[in-house]
């Protein structure tokens, strides 16, 4: 099955993803397709929700050379710093939009990696922004939700 990136306002982007219990071959094959799509679209992260798969995983690559593919399965934030960061975010599901979004500068995350091993790490700055952005996708949330209602309406009218 070929995977396609869903774009706003597709209602499937709003479905909350379910935890993964087993890393079956189907998930592994979908992971490969997710990486292909992410690199093709020049993104730094792509969540399963964005291709209509409602399971909790995302792929990402923060390296400049785009040669460091990483997978986060069942990612969970267990701590957020009170200190904030504002980052100009884009989203492959809302092409053409960039927004300044305020998030925690540092977070502690737990996830399962591609080998089925639990990882725990404190991440900051762009990596922290990325984890929060992708976990939002798994919860059915988009960057556009961060805007006040009136501003959101204006932007939606401009985009569509």
Instruction: Show which residues are catalytic.
Output: 134
Identify the DSSP state of 19: P
Which candidate, 134, 125, 160, 38, places its Cα nearest to that of 77? 134
Annotate each residue in 32-71 with x if it binds Zn ion (CB under 5 A) or - if it does not, as one string: ----------------------------------------
**Residues 19/26, Cβ–Cβ less than 8 Å:** no
Residue nearest to Zn ion (CB): 91
For the chain, report the end-to-end CA distance as a whole number of angstroms.
Answer: 29
To Zn ion, the closest distance from the beta carbon of 85 in angstroms equals 17
- For the chain, the residue count is 160
Which three-class secondary structure state does DSSP give residue 110?
Answer: strand
Q: How far is the CB of 92 from Zn ion (least distance, A)?
A: 6
Question: Does 13 help bind Zn ion (rule: CB under 5 A)?
Answer: no
Taking the C-alpha atoms of residue 113 and residue 118, their distance in angstroms, rounded to an integer, is 6
Applying the rule CB under 5 A, the residues between 85 and 104 that interact with Zn ion are 91
User: How would you classify the pairing of strands 84-90 and 70-80?
Assistant: unpaired
**Residue among 3 and 23 whose Cβ is closer to Zn ion:** 3
Minimal distance, residue 25 CB to Zn ion, in Å = 27
Nearer to Zn ion, 59 or 91 (CB): 91
Q: Which residues bind Zn ion (CB under 5 A)?
A: 91
């Amino acid at each position: 099955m070929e995977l396609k990136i869903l774009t706003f306002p597709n209602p499937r982007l709003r479905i909350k993803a379910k935890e993964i219990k087993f890393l079956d071959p189907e998930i592994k094959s979908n992971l490969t397709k997710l990486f292909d799509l992410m690199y093709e679209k020049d993104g730094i992260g792509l969540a399963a929700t964005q291709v209509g798969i409602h399971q909790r995983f995302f792929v990402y690559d923060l390296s400049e050379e785009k040669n460091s593919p990483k997978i986060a399965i069942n990612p969970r934030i267990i701590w957020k710093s009170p200190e904030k960061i504002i980052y100009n975010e884009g989203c492959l599901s809302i092409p053409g939009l960039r927004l300044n979004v305020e998030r925690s500068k540092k977070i502690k995350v737990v996830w399962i990696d591609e080998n089925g091993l639990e990882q725990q790490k404190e991440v900051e700055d762009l990596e922290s922004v990325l984890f929060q952005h992708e976990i939002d996708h798994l919860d059915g949330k988009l960057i556009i939700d961060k805007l006040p209602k009136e501003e959101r309406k204006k932007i939606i009218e401009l985009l569509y």
